[in-house]
Amino acid sequence: MTSRSGWAVFETAIGACGLAWGPKGLLGVLLPEGEAGRTRTRLMRQFPELAEAGPPDEISEGIRRIAGLLGGARDDLRDLALDLSLVGRFDADVYEEARAIPLGETITYGTLAARIGDPAQARAVGQALGRNPWPIVVPCHRITAAEGKTGGFSAPGGAATKLRILEIEGALDADRLPLFAHPPAP
């Protein structure tokens, strides 16, 4: 049975992710933190008014596409509906502009600030991205610090998770991967 609102845990190439939805679209996406039980617990805490449920077709399709992207599929997820009533206008503007960053590319916090009309707001952009309820769907991992630095990532695993997702999307060359991600020498 499907529900107009609820949450679900689903497996991906990087672990068990979670997703919550309501009548207006996605309410949140959670990246993995260890085993599926931890993701389930985080969903119950973050969305206490919702219950685990069978997702409707459009949410099932979103789950399939998110799992595909994390497995290396070329999908920008821009058309997945988000319930933007949960965030303020500034954050919504940041998220909308972040969703326009093409798969496999990155920009800096300052560039994103300039794109929303105020280059001096790079720090505020970073803070908005740190509050992003929809990581992956709103690709906050594609925004980096100045001078080629990775910048922060508020999801479990921090910058290592950010780098792993950028690697999956093809946005990193081998010279920017962390030491543990380099293939063994021949």
Catalytic residues: 140
Task: List the one residue out of 10, 86, 9, 13 whose CA is nearest residue 42.
Answer: 9
Query: Tokens for 91?
Result: 């954050």
Please report the DSSP string for 4-25 in residue order.
SSEEEEEEETTEEEEEEEETTE
Q: Under the phi-then-psi rule, with left for phi > 0, alpha for psi from -120 to 50, and beta for the rest, what region is 32? A: beta
CB 170 within 8 A of CB 141: no
